[in-house]
Structure 1
Amino acid sequence: MHMEILPFTIAVPDAIIDDLHTRLTNTRWPEAELVDDWSQGAPLAYVQEVCEYWANGYDWRTRETALNRFDQFTTEIDGLDLHFIHQRSPHANATPLLLSHGWPGSIVEFHKVIEPLTDPTRFGGDAADAFHVVAPSLPGYGFSAKPTETGWGIDRIAGAFATLMSRLGYDKYVAQGGDWGAGITTALGALDPTHCQAIHVTLAMGARPKLDKELTPEMHHALERLQFYRDWDSGYSKQQATRPQTVGYGLVDSPSAQAAWIIEKFWAWTDNDGHPEDVLDRDEMLDNIMLYWINGNGASSARLYWESFGKGTRHVVTIPSGFAVFPKEISPPIREWVADSYTDIVRWQRYDKGGHFAAFEVPEVFVAEIRSMFRRYRPGF
């Protein structure tokens, strides 16, 4: 068994950057949409604008250097090289915190929260709220290796992440996640309760709505969001869950396709005023897209849907759990609907601003929420 932990620095070869620029320049574009909004997908003019900037304005080397301010490593777990950020706090008795991203996210989602989480006193906070942050790239995402066999679903990833925390010397830890990260975090809470002391999530897509009593306004809102997702917003998931290989050809070959595939979700799932750049700047969106493009992860990231949709275990989490509810989440969680699966909910906080990518969109809110949730679970627990 290979248990070595190796330092890792993001260093993308010039040839990959040159090839990217060539492909962007030679993009074969479709005709424009026949509507004046995003209802047929990411608008041609905007995708062209982003890709022109990607080719001629975006400076990957500067962005690469910024991402390398975090301490990064790789280690082999269950036959797969796992890439992860491990940013230790300078403060004594910091709480080990595992952050899990999802699709179409990456470790880039956490670039605005890692420093205030690890070193709160630099940002006007209290040293007692410090965390040692561990943020892995999911298998088949970013700089983690791509699985070469089937079976890498949510539970196996959760097992790998539990092993990672143990290998880093954290006998006890807390965990947080959104999107697939919420599923992984939930699995950790159910499968590793001896070591995982508490969890926090922002999404519970597996919860079954209970419609046997009068619905609250929050329930109506969640059902409306869920119905819209099913009718108009979930085509990507059906494709990735049924034919990830097929969609992978276009995503891995065409940077404009990969960009549009992800940017559309930044438009759909952030709390914006009609445009994704109301919430996220163009550079950070491209940072995230680059982590899919560099290693050609269009198919490997999509396979997580094939591995997980309808195939996972419905877990019951008995350790302390917390929820942050954001209005523009795909379907905001409802306490009564998740209580059967999370039997010890110790925090339920509703916000009036924010969407699917909480750490990315509202980092100050996210940091405050994490501190509040896990303040009671300091080392020694």
Structure 2
Amino acid sequence: MAVERFHIHVPDEILDDLQYRLRHIRWPDQVEDTGWERGTELTTLKSLVSYWRDQYDWRAQESALNRLAQFRCHIDGIDVHFVHERGKGPNPLPLILTHGWPDSYLRYQKIIPLLTDPASYGGNPEDSFDVIVPSVPGFGFSSRPKQPGVNNKRVADMWAKLMTEELGYPKFGAAGGDVGSGVTRYLAANHPELLYGIHLTDIGIIRDLMSAADEAKLSEEERRYKQAASAWVAQEGGYMSIQSTRPQTLAYGLSDSPSGLAGWLMEKFRAWSDCQGDLKQRFSEDELITHIMVYWVTNTIGSSAHLYYENAHSLPPLGYIEVPTALALFPADVLLPPKAWAARHLNVTRVTSMPRGGHFTAWEEPEALAEDIREFYRPFRAKN
């Protein structure tokens, strides 16, 4: 199918079914005198579910989301959903933004207007972008892969076709974090001629450092990273282990229980953000639930987990990336990469240490991230 306009409209039957489930939850116990150390805390989850059931208005959120210019097209057997907002400036630079897990394309909802229309936010209209934000296959309003093998590399190849064949951009910028960082790096590795540069907020878990046998060959920063990464995976990596090995088993419970889904995602929003243990410092209840709803109404929590399996079992190694690369590092993010390692594997031309913010960068600190993206791409505009 050609590129077609897309509007979100969730059938009433799905919303009615959700209401029934929210009113008939069988809650587990929680061990006395415990908080979040064993997983999502019961009182916090009950409070969010109560708001979800009694006050949250999906139709209002749906209407707000539909104010974005959204489209779908068919690439490599998958219907790809994406936002495509045109820049308001003399020569907008095309930029594709890729989200991660457990968020969605809504990770970039706040930053889109800052990039497309900088003049309205105190910036220069010459810094405007055409912003494209796809939903990764198996997430949200993109379709769920029916065949194995859709990993970060395959998604990157799809993005190359989306930008050049479907949207007609011969060259563009790319940015992302979490899964989006991996997709963006594979895009740079396999399609460097298409890119001005890439902008990353993380480099994921660096497995070769974790498995390095001879620590004497590592720098002090790399040794600290190895220790921190090993501790983090042991304490926080259970979700990753099960999604990389048994995503189908996990999908049954999370696809059937809205409270289970909320508990699975809330734990990560709290642990990986710069919220100091209090979700309300960073996210409103409406924001949290709308992110959860994108998974619920599309029934994509299972298919999103399968991406971890594909990346663990079918992803080829990455070589040195020659495309100019910016790193914007947020202090509360997960496992900040050693700068020397990054410099050996990527053509790093800009590194910014942000004053605050966590893993959900564009959601938590949209203004700071937007400014860093503008500054990084400014020298490339003469080539656009």
Residue 328 (1) aligns with residue 355 (2): no
Residue 200 (1) aligns with residue 205 (2): no
After TM superposition, the structure 1 = structure 2 runs for residues 1-381 of structure 1, keeping only pairs within 5 Å, are: 2=1, 4-166=2-164, 167-207=166-206, 208-209=208-209, 211=215, 212=217, 215-216=220-221, 220=224, 222-223=225-226, 225-309=228-312, 311-315=314-318, 316-342=320-346, 344-378=347-381, 380-381=383-384
1:107, distance to aligned residue in structure 2 (A)? 1.1
What amino acid sits opposite 1:14 in the alignment? Answer: D
- CA separation in 2, counterparts of 1:227 and 1:142? 31
Please say if residues 89 and 127 of structure 2, whose CA atoms lie closer than 8 Å, have aligned partners that are also in contact.
no
SS in 1 for 2:244: helix
What amino acid sits opposite 1:322 in the alignment? Answer: A
- CA separation in 1, counterparts of 2:33 and 2:355? 30
Return the TM-score normalized by structure 1: 0.95
SS in 1 for 2:383: coil
Per-residue CA deviations over 1:67-120 (Å, capped at 9, x if unaligned) read 111100000000110000001112221010000001101011111100111001
Task: Report the RMSD for the aligned CA atoms in angstroms.
Answer: 1.5
Please say if residues 94 and 379 of structure 1, whose CA atoms lie closer than 8 Å, have aligned partners that are also in contact.
no
What amino acid sits opposite 2:260 in the alignment? Answer: A
What amino acid sits opposite 2:7 in the alignment? Answer: T
Higher helix residue share: 2
Per-residue CA deviations over 1:275-313 (Å, capped at 9, x if unaligned) read 222111111111111110001112101000000025322
Please say if residues 361 and 369 of structure 2, whose CA atoms lie closer than 8 Å, have aligned partners that are also in contact.
yes
User: Which stretches in structure 2 are left out of the alignment for 5+ residues?
Assistant: none
Per-residue CA deviations over 1:127-185 (Å, capped at 9, x if unaligned) read 11100000000101000000000010111000001100012011110000000000000
Please say if residues 244 and 303 of structure 1, whose CA atoms lie closer than 8 Å, have aligned partners that are also in contact.
yes
What amino acid sits opposite 1:101 in the alignment? Answer: H
Return the TM-score normalized by structure 2: 0.94
- CA separation in 2, counterparts of 1:82 and 1:323? 27
What amino acid sits opposite 1:232 in the alignment? Answer: Q
- CA separation in 1, counterparts of 2:295 and 2:227? 31
SS in 2 for 1:199: strand
- CA separation in 2, counterparts of 1:304 and 1:247? 13
Q: How many residues align?
A: 376
User: Which stretches in structure 1 are left out of the alignment for 5+ residues?
Assistant: none
1:62, distance to aligned residue in structure 2 (A)? 1.0
CA gap of 1:196–1:27, structure 2 versus 1, over 3 A, is same
CA gap of 1:272–1:206, structure 2 versus 1, over 3 A, is closer
1:227, distance to aligned residue in structure 2 (A)? 3.1
Please say if residues 342 and 348 of structure 2, whose CA atoms lie closer than 8 Å, have aligned partners that are also in contact.
no
SS in 1 for 2:345: coil
- CA separation in 1, counterparts of 2:169 and 2:250? 39
SS in 2 for 1:333: coil
1:33, distance to aligned residue in structure 2 (A)? 3.7
1:223, distance to aligned residue in structure 2 (A)? 4.5
